[in-house]
Structure 1
């Protein structure tokens, strides 16, 4: 809920002023990155059998935590890169990657919406 509230304030400010507030955008991206990281790590540890057939991950715990930290840093960097940068400031492949990344996210949201509508 806090993440969505931050995105709402970020978009409202962006709509009113025409520029993105860096502090609000930073916190919104951070909350998104934390949410993605936690959900992916939970999926990973359950897929590895933790809590189902294993009482502990043992030596794999450190690897899972390092993977989580790496994913968080990459997700945070990508989110800041996409939301705080101006696409006209980038050249060549960086601009192309940003455009396709935005298209991919849009398609993903549309598929989730379509699945939700079909469920109802």
Structure 2
């Protein structure tokens, strides 16, 4: 239907360009540009706090400190690449495939390494127990690899649109199952670590883990509460919370000369076990 009869049957060829006032980014994606810029500077400030202490106490560093440093570097790289990706998309309306793929890879690496870091801390290896060896180390590494592969596959498939809806849903379900395993393992390990510290009456490490457990529970409850709150961009909140968790870990396990606060000391543990065994033997004799 046309208003001008002379234009009836006219065919117009060309292309339409949809552009907002601030650029080509859609309204739902526009906040991500400033968000990732803020995230980069937030992690940069965290790095300014962390790296000098890490270098200063280089001779007293532990494996946990190197793991935390790697997570911070990966987070900064991810934020920088994401910002560059959305800036280019906003300017040209074209997404650079290389930048996007690298951003997805760094994001998946950061997520898997962050979860492994949380597992190492909550299990107490290197702090309450001996450093991770054997089957436990293999299980953790395998879980990290599986998590990375699923996260990478899902994000690439979602961006490239190479899979059907059913295939994408299947990968997402596998990812959710692995995420659930990580969460259960984390909290179960944290509970066991707290019980072990209470039995051994190691007050310094117990206080450290109690504060961390309280903060972790608060963050988890906040994450659950946000599900029921109507927010404009819920995806952003899912990224803010891991950043706060990383900040807590950096505060509680900051590099220090007081290694007894962090390290598993075999002599102290053996001494405790000998005292515990002697007391049990004494009780049996009295009975």
TM-score, normalisation: structure 1:
0.69
For residues 1-120 of structure 1, the aligned pairs below 5 Å read 1-59=76-134, 60-85=136-161, 90-91=164-165, 94=168, 106-107=233-234, 109-110=236-237, 112=240
Cα deviation for residue 110 of structure 1 reads: 3.7
2:154 & 2:117 partners in 1: Cα distance? 21
1:61 deviation in Å?
Answer: 0.5
Q: Using the alignment, how far apart are the partners of 1:93 and 1:77 within structure 2?
A: 11
Please report the RMSD computed on the Cα atoms of aligned residues, expressed in angstroms: 3.0
Q: Where does structure 2 lack aligned partners over 5 or more consecutive residues? A: 1-75, 173-226, 228-232, 245-287
Count how many residue pairs are aligned between Structure 1 and Structure 2. 105
Conserved 8 A contact 2:126-2:132:
no
Work out whether residues 25 and 84 of structure 1, in 8 Å CA contact, stay in contact via their aligned partners in 2.
no
Per residue, is there more helix in 1 or in 2? 1
Q: Which runs of 5+ in 1 are unaligned?
A: 99-103
* Pair member with larger Rg: 2
CA 1:74–1:94: 2 relative to 1, 3 Å = closer
In 2, Cα distance between the equivalents of 1:13 and 1:22?
11
Relative to the length of structure 2, the TM-score reads 0.32
Contact preservation (8 Å) 2:158, 2:168? no
Superposed CA offset, 1:62-104 (max 9, x none)? 1110111111111111221233339xx8557858x99xxxxx7
